[in-house]
Structure 1
Amino acid sequence: MKVVSNKNNLQVLYEDNHIIAVNKRVGDIVQGDKTGDKPLSDVIKEYIKEKYNKPGAVYLGVVHRLDRPTTGIVVFARTSKALTRLNDLFKNRETQKTYWAAVKNKPAKDNDVLLHYLVRNPKNNTSKAHAKEVPNSKKASLDYTTLKELNNYTILSVNLHTGRHHQIRAQLSAIGSPIKGDLKYGFDRSNPDGGIHLHARKLTFIHPVTKKELTISAPLPDDVIWNSI
C-alpha cells in the first residue's frame, strides 16, 4: 500500500538552520504539479512551522527533484542564501549522487561505465537512449557496480556523471536491464504501490554555509527486495 509523507511521518535525514534533507516516499511529489497533490515542499513547511513554532510563512527552496515513483534523498534550502549556493552546486555537478537500483536481466558486466545520448519526448515524458549522437540528443554518462544478485533481480549501485531526464531508467533499460516496476522503460509489470525500485541512496556535497563536506544516506524502503540486501 502506498504511503505518502505528512508532517507527522516525515522521514527527516538531516536538518539545520540552512538546509533540510528528507527520505522521499514513492507517492511523494517534490514540487506541485498538474495533479494538484500536496507536494513534499508543502509538507516540510508544515513540519518546520510546527516544530519551531514559526509565525507567518515558512521559507523553503526546492533545489533538485526525484521522479515521483522513485525514493530517497531530497535536499531543500531553508534560506535564500543556502538555495543560491546549493543551486550552483547541483548545476555545476559538484555533488556526488549514488543510487541503488533493482533490475531484471543481470548486466553483462559486474561493473561498467555507460555512455548514451538521450532524446527526451515531452509527449509521453520519457527519454530514449541512443548509442551514438543523434539530433537533439544530450550526452549521458554513469557508472554502476553490482552489489548483490538475487534469484530474479540484481541490485546495482549507480553513480551519475550527468543529470539527464530519467537518465538511470533509460540507460539501464537500453542495456536490457530495466528497473523493477518501471513500465515506461520496459519492465513487464508495475509494483503494487506504483513505484519503481530506484532509490537515491547517498548524497555528498559541500554545505552551503559551513563549507564542510556533508554526506547524507537514506534508509531503504521496507520491502522484500530491499530487505534482502
Structure 2
Amino acid sequence: MSNTSKVLSNKSNLQVLYEDNHIIVVNKRAGDIVQGDKTGDKPLSDVVKEFLKEKYNKTGNVYLGVVHRLDRPTTGIVMFAKTSKALPRLNKLFANKEAKKTYWAIVKNKPQKEQDTLTHWLRKNPKNNKSTAFKKEVNNSKKAILHYKLLKQLNNYFLLEINLETGRHHQIRSQLSSIDCPIKGDLKYGFDRSNTDASIHLHARQITFTHPIKKEPILITAPLPKDALWDACL
C-alpha cells in the first residue's frame, strides 16, 4: 500500500466545496474510493456521512446518494445527494449531460495539436481493470469523445484542459495515452514511473450545472493538490 493512505479523507480533514440542504460537493484526495469496493477500504461516501452526522448531531442513519465517481488515483470534485428528492434529479442531470465537468491533466508529451477533439471506441478489460482505445468500433466497445486544449507548458510536462462528451471507464486516461500523452504517474496507461503518493496528475477541476431544486446556476472549482508541479500550473 502506498503512502497515499496517510492523507486519505476523514471527517476532520474533509474539504467541502459546496453544501446546501440537497447537495454536498467535496474535493477528493488521491487514494480515496468514492464507493465501497472489494478492497474493503473505507469509502468517501462513508466519510461524508460521518461528517454530516457529526455536523448536524443526527441520530440514526444519514442519507447520502452517490451521483458520480472518480478513479481512485484521481483528485477533485465529487458530488453527493443529501436527499432522496435530489438524487434522481442529479442522476438525470448527469445522464442528460447538463452538468459540465472540466478536468486538468498534466501529461508527458506535447500533443500534436494544441486543441482537438478525440474520438475512440473504448473496450474495458475487467481482468486488469483497463480500457483500450480503438480508432474504429470493435466488439464490446463504447464510443468515447473528449475535447482538450493545451493550457500551459511546464518545465518537462504539459497542462491540458479536458471536457468530456461521454463518460466511459478510464476515458481520459486511455484516450490521452492513445495520442502518446500519458498522464504523469499513470503507470497503467503508459507513464514510465509512479508518483510517490500513488496519485496521477488528473484533477476534476470544475463543474457547472443548474441546481435541480433551486434552479439556480452553480459553478464550483476544486483547489489543486499541494505539490510543486500543480503549483506551477497556476
- Pairing partner for 2:62 from 17, 38, 58: 58
Match of 2:85, SS state, is: helix
Match of 1:80, SS state, is: coil
Correspondence for 2:119: 115
- Pairing partner for 1:193 from 197, 221, 224: 197
Correspondence for 2:231: 227
- Pairing partner for 1:88 from 81, 88, 92: 92
Correspondence for 2:164: 160
Q: Structure 1 segments of 4 or more deviating over 4 A? A: none
- Pairing partner for 2:11 from 3, 7, 13: 7
Match of 1:225, SS state, is: helix
Match of 1:21, SS state, is: strand
| Counterpart amino acid of residue 231 in structure 2 | N
Deviation, structure 1 residue 203: 0.8
Deviation, structure 1 residue 95: 1.1
Correspondence for 1:43: 47
> For 2:32 and 2:125, how far apart are their aligned partners in 1?
23
2:131 is aligned with 1:138? no
Deviation, structure 1 residue 23: 0.1
| Counterpart amino acid of residue 207 in structure 1 | H
> For 1:151 and 1:217, how far apart are their aligned partners in 2?
25
What do residues 178-222 of structure 1 show as CA deviations (whole Å, max 9, x unaligned)?
000001100010000001000000011111110111111100000
| Counterpart amino acid of residue 12 in structure 1 | V
Structure 1: unaligned runs, 5 residues or longer:
none
> For 1:190 and 1:17, how far apart are their aligned partners in 2?
40
Note the aligned Cα RMSD (angstroms): 0.7
Alignment TM-score, normalising by the size of structure 1: 0.98
Alignment TM-score, normalising by the size of structure 2: 0.96
| Counterpart amino acid of residue 138 in structure 1 | K
2:174 is aligned with 1:170? yes
- Pairing partner for 1:73 from 65, 70, 77: 77
- Pairing partner for 2:155 from 151, 154, 169: 151
Structure 2: unaligned runs, 5 residues or longer:
none
- Percent of counterpart pairs with the same letter? 71
Deviation, structure 1 residue 154: 0.2
Aligned length, in residue pairs: 229
Deviation, structure 1 residue 50: 0.7
- Pairing partner for 1:105 from 80, 99, 109: 109
Deviation, structure 1 residue 55: 1.3
